[in-house]
Amino acid sequence: MEFRMEYDTMGKVAVPAHCLWGAQTQRSLQNFSIGEEKMPHSLIEAFTVLKRACASANLSLNRLDETHMKLIQRVCDEILAGTLSDEFPLSVWQTGSGTQTNMNLNEVIANRGNQLAAESLLHPNDHVNLSQSSNDTFPTAMHVAAVTEIQHHLLPALEEMSDVLIRLETENQDVLKTGRTHLQDAVPITFGQEVSGWRSMIDHAKAMIIQSMDGLYELALGGTAVGTGLNSPPGFSDAVTSEISIFTGLPFRSSPNKFHALTAKDAMVFSHGALKALAANLMKIANDVRWLASGPRCGLGEIFIPENEPGSSIMPGKVNPTQCEAVTMVAVQVMANDTAISLAASQGNFQLNVFMPVCAYNFLQSVRLLTDVMLSFTRRCLSGIRPNQNKMAENLKRSLMTVTALTPYVGYENGAKIAKKAFAENISLKEAAMDLHLFTEEEFDRAFRPEEMV
């Protein structure tokens, strides 16, 4: 491999000749060979949008000339088009401020810009990082990436799932089945009513996520190193925020207190709490689906789910609820990520939080995992659910808790006697009620109407 020499304030560093990054990126690669987790692509994109907006703001405030601005933006557009994706190789496990990722962007933009210009016009610090600090750019990129991923990926996945559940709810609004509480038989419901509970969980989670995004719209840019805004011209923060809002179509605003914006990550904690609530709801829905589909002969067997792949390497013909299992595993990971983000946010010592890369990584992983698993679950499981009406009717007929319909006529205690006798002697509620001389056959038939219990 051929190398070229790059320089920073610590001296010279050998960098692979074909790479666009510079000395500080190379030092990070050498000093932080930790794990396999790389900075998320969505964070790099958000950083690129930020650098593009900073160049425009610096031009408008007479800090940068048009030639430099256009060159920076031209490279940013290449990055956003995906043509330079291999130039961002840094580990999540680096400096807690994300300085090396900020410099990775600065170096790639400067070196690629100089290639395009065929002369040395751009300096990574003096031009690309002008009016900025890693301490305010990284938290800004975190928020931009979080909001963008939620808006463009997670919310559409939630809407698609909700639409499928609305269809299932409507199609099964008159299909009677046994309700269950405490994993025990309860009074009847319709399958449509059961599905409506799932649908409402998704809709409520979506509303909570949207509400939680308000704090993420606040951007730290303009605080520079410690929140004072040193070396950032007046109006820079508002100018950059406006550019980012125009470019993304999202209502970002400048944080009114940059000291808070640099050291606190409470907005990430709050928003991820809504993601955790979604994960909890998805866990419940997936568990319900796999319980209801359990069998096919020795379980509840009240619904049919799509058969996507063989379920066993040893048991021929076995099919498992694999989509449900994927959902529940993702839910566990999101809940674990929530703990990591909460702990990371608690470490804002003095003027800077230095757990930002792990906070960003876990947040963005949660958004992407939830998005992907909801789309998979919706398309490969929920959309193909069919009620097993024969099994539902059989279970409803055998349920003892339909005795609740009789208590207005004979009271709670006599109702309990009917249910216990039916269970002990393995006979129907009707037979038990008649044996106890609490109902005649005609009286029982008039009183016992499960379809009216829903």
Domain locations along the chain:
3-130, 143-175+189-219+256-389, 400-452
Pick the CATH number of 3-130 from 1.20.1250.20, 4.10.520.10, 3.40.50.620, 1.10.275.10: 1.10.275.10
Q: Are 258 and 222 in contact (CB under 8 A)?
A: yes
Question: What does the pLDDT look like over 92-127, one tens digit per residue?
Answer: 999 999 999 999 999 999 999 999 999 999 999 999
Q: Are 140 and 222 in contact (CB under 8 A)?
A: no
pLDDT at 47: 98
* Measured distance between the N- and C-terminal CA atoms of the chain, rounded to whole angstroms: 73
Q: Are 326 and 382 in contact (CB under 8 A)?
A: no
Domains 143-175+189-219+256-389 and 400-452 share a fold: no
Q: Are 277 and 334 in contact (CB under 8 A)?
A: no
pLDDT at 340: 98
Cα dist from 369 to 66, 255, 341, 349, whole Å: 41, 29, 16, 30
Q: Are 361 and 40 in contact (CB under 8 A)?
A: yes
Nearest to 212 by CA among 264, 256, 277: 277
- From the candidates 85, 120, 204, 312, give the one annotated as an active-site residue: 312
pLDDT at 187: 96
pLDDT at 231: 97
Is CATH 1.20.200.10 the right assignment for the domain spanning 143-175+189-219+256-389? yes
pLDDT at 388: 98
pLDDT at 357: 98
**41 is known as an active-site residue:** no
pLDDT at 250: 98
pLDDT at 56: 98
Cα dist from 403 to 55, 193, 408, 413, 434, whole Å: 73, 21, 10, 11, 13
The residue whose two tokens read 């900020």 is: 102
- R_g over Cα of the chain: 30
CB proximity list for 191: less than 8 A, separation 6 or greater: 172, 175, 176, 177, 302, 303, 387, 392
pLDDT at 383: 98
Neighbour-count burial for 439-449, b at 16+ CB within 10 Å, e otherwise? beeeebeeebe
Nearest to 359 by CA among 338, 333, 335, 330: 338
Average pLDDT estimate for 46-69: 98
Counting residues of the chain whose pLDDT is more than 70, the rounded percentage is 100
Question: What does the pLDDT look like over 256-290, one tens digit per residue?
Answer: 999 999 999 999 999 999 999 999 999 999 999 99
pLDDT at 192: 98
CB proximity list for 185: less than 8 A, separation 6 or greater: 178, 179, 399, 400, 401
Q: Are 219 and 241 in contact (CB under 8 A)?
A: yes
Pick the CATH number of 400-452 from 3.40.50.2300, 3.30.360.10, 1.10.645.10, 1.10.40.30: 1.10.40.30
Q: Are 52 and 76 in contact (CB under 8 A)?
A: yes
- From the candidates 182, 237, 313, 428, give the one annotated as an active-site residue: 182
Q: Where are the alpha helices (DSSP H) in 172-321?
A: 191-212, 236-248, 258-263, 266-292
Mean of the per-residue pLDDT values of the chain: 97
Question: What does the pLDDT look like over 387-410, one tens digit per residue?
Answer: 999 999 999 999 999 999 999 999
**182 is known as an active-site residue:** yes
Which pLDDT band, with edges at 50, 70 and 90, does 246 fall under? very high
pLDDT at 23: 98
- CA–CA separation, 382 and 385 (whole Å): 5
Phi-psi sector, 229: left (phi>0), alpha (psi -120 to 50), beta:
left
Which pLDDT band, with edges at 50, 70 and 90, does 141 fall under? very high
Question: What does the pLDDT look like over 210-242, one tens digit per residue?
Answer: 999 999 999 999 999 999 999 999 999 999 999
E-only strand ranges, 18-76 = none
Nearest to 74 by CA among 127, 34, 117, 45: 117
pLDDT at 305: 97
Average pLDDT estimate for 77-86: 98
Q: Rounded to 5 degrees, what angle do the CA atoms 12, 132, 93 make?
A: 60
pLDDT at 186: 96
Nearest to 79 by CA among 122, 108, 99: 108
pLDDT at 136: 98
DSSP assignments along 264-302, one per residue: --HHHHHHHHHHHHHHHHHHHHHHHHHHHT--SSSS---
In 3-state terms, what secondary structure has residue 400?
coil
Token code pair at residue 330: 């993702």
